[in-house]
Structure 1
Amino acid sequence: MKYQGVLFDLDGTLTASGEGITKSVQYALKKMGRPDLGKDRKKLEVFVGPPLLEQFMDYAGFSEEEAAEAVKYYRERYNVTGIFENQPYPGIKELLEGLKEKGITLAVASSKPDQMVKIVLDHFQLDTYFDVIMGSDINRPKMTKAEVILQVLEKMNCLDEREQVIMVGDRHYDVLGAKEAGLSCIGVTYGYGTKEELLRAGVVKTADNTRELGKLLGL
């Protein structure tokens, strides 16, 4: 299908950000007196994608107040060092160039704080490919993925043309957020979620690499 607009998640979809995120979670858990919970960085990849507040509550059993403190510690490290322990996936720039050449409107919809999203995209010179870039409001730690997506659609003037727009993400949070906002979602398996997770959430298609993703998007 030829889409008029494509919304991309950031972490695990455009960039491989796991190292910076998991090391920053380790730092936060140590500061919270729970370094035992951060020994296995692979397990901490569950923090890639969802809002941090709820993930600290789910993973560590923190109260909301404790989780908010953990998020502050996380950002102490991430905002200085972790944000750059990151790199675009192979073929991402070529994919974005191809979509732009076809006149497709491109956007980023991420649960990462808005300022951090823009810093990452600028650092890797990916920002110029996108018509709309939006992350979550740092003052609203419970802001949902669906809320971010709806704000992006509004900026794209696509609220009434959702059938011509698709979301691309690597976790079930992306799929469910897209559904709630009235969009279908393509899942990428090269990120931090599994194919099974994505299929259970209801993706319309999956792509194992950026070349497959390009074909699904009409390249």
Structure 2
Amino acid sequence: MSVCAILFDLDGTLTDPKLGITRCIQYALVELGYPPPEAEELLWCIGPPIQESFSQLLQTSDHGVLKEAIALYRRRYSTIGLWENTLYPQITETVKEIRVAGYKTFVATSKPHIYAKQIIEYFGLLSLFDGVYGSELDGTRVVKGELIHYILVTENLLSADVVMVGDRKHDMIGAKLHNITAIGVTYGYGTEEELKTHGADKIAHSPEEIPGLVVV
């Protein structure tokens, strides 16, 4: 195995965005006239593309309705929600250890990259990543498989040289689409069963376990 680059998901892998994401979803639903579920009932929304989550919450595929819901979500998220976020313990040390071992590191998130970069900067992690990749505000590259393809092409990486680390099935599916080794983390918002069902090759139960699974 000639791994040289590690892709990290953001929400549920590097940071815990529970407070910000759930509050912004609740805000959008209230503004649309819907009773908002409790935060604990919205944890499944952490990880998937936000349009996908609103489609299920509102039981609609109507583009206009979803566009309005996302706009309301972003109204609060861009000014308040993205800061209602915490760094998982030992993440800084974990990424540093991987970089010291000679690996390149990238953020690969379905979240718009303009928000992702602000979050990475806020936590003082920007110098620990060779690039921060995410979707565009219009939904381009919101699907993890498309995002990973974009990173591979942009960074001139071979699938065999890359490992994807993430906490939800979307990370595993995206990785397997490109025959990339996938490490699922269970301290985020996906279960071990979800991760293994969708192709996780290895499982990390804490950030400290990740270097041992990727550094060879």
TM-score (norm 1): 0.93
- Counterpart of 2:174 (choices 164, 173, 177) is 177
**Cα deviation, residue 201, structure 1:** 0.7
CA contact (8 A) 1:147 1:181 kept: no
Moved over 4 A (4+): none
Tell me what 2:74 maps to.
Answer: 75
Tell me what 1:30 maps to.
Answer: 30
**Cα deviation, residue 172, structure 1:** 0.3
Tell me what 1:140 maps to.
Answer: 139
Go from structure 1 to structure 2 and tell me whether the alpha carbon gap of 1:208 and 1:121 turns closer, same or farther (over 3 Å shift).
same
Secondary structure of the structure 2 residue equivalent to 1:42? helix
Which amino acid is the alignment partner of residue 199 of structure 2?
Answer: G
Q: Deviations over 1:128-176 (max 9, x none)?
A: 1111211101123673111111111122210xx2112110000001111
Which amino acid is the alignment partner of residue 162 of structure 2?
Answer: V
Which amino acid is the alignment partner of residue 186 of structure 2?
Answer: T
Q: Output aligned runs, 1:119-138, within 5 Å.
A: 119-138=118-137
Tell me what 2:95 maps to.
Answer: 96
Which amino acid is the alignment partner of residue 24 of structure 2?
Answer: S
Q: Deviations over 1:190-212 (max 9, x none)?
A: 00111111111110011100111
Q: Output aligned runs, 1:97-116, within 5 Å.
A: 97-116=96-115
- Counterpart of 2:46 (choices 35, 45, 48) is 48
**Cα deviation, residue 60, structure 1:** 2.1
Q: Deviations over 1:67-102 (max 9, x none)?
A: 111000001111111100101111100011111111
Q: Deviations over 1:24-83 (max 9, x none)?
A: 000011111112xx2321121122111111211122213232111100000111111110
Does residue 188 of structure 1 match 2:182? no
Tell me what 2:13 maps to.
Answer: 13
Go from structure 1 to structure 2 and tell me whether the alpha carbon gap of 1:171 and 1:179 turns closer, same or farther (over 3 Å shift).
same
Go from structure 1 to structure 2 and tell me whether the alpha carbon gap of 1:87 and 1:2 turns closer, same or farther (over 3 Å shift).
farther
Q: 41-50 or 142-151: which moved more?
A: 142-151
Tell me what 1:166 maps to.
Answer: 163
Go from structure 1 to structure 2 and tell me whether the alpha carbon gap of 1:26 and 1:119 turns closer, same or farther (over 3 Å shift).
same
Paired residues in the alignment total 215
CA contact (8 A) 1:57 1:64 kept: no
Q: 91-100 or 139-148: which moved more?
A: 139-148
TM-score (norm 2): 0.95
Structure 2, gaps ≥5 residues long: none
Q: 133-142 or 113-122: which moved more?
A: 133-142
Structure 1, gaps ≥5 residues long: none
Go from structure 1 to structure 2 and tell me whether the alpha carbon gap of 1:81 and 1:9 turns closer, same or farther (over 3 Å shift).
same
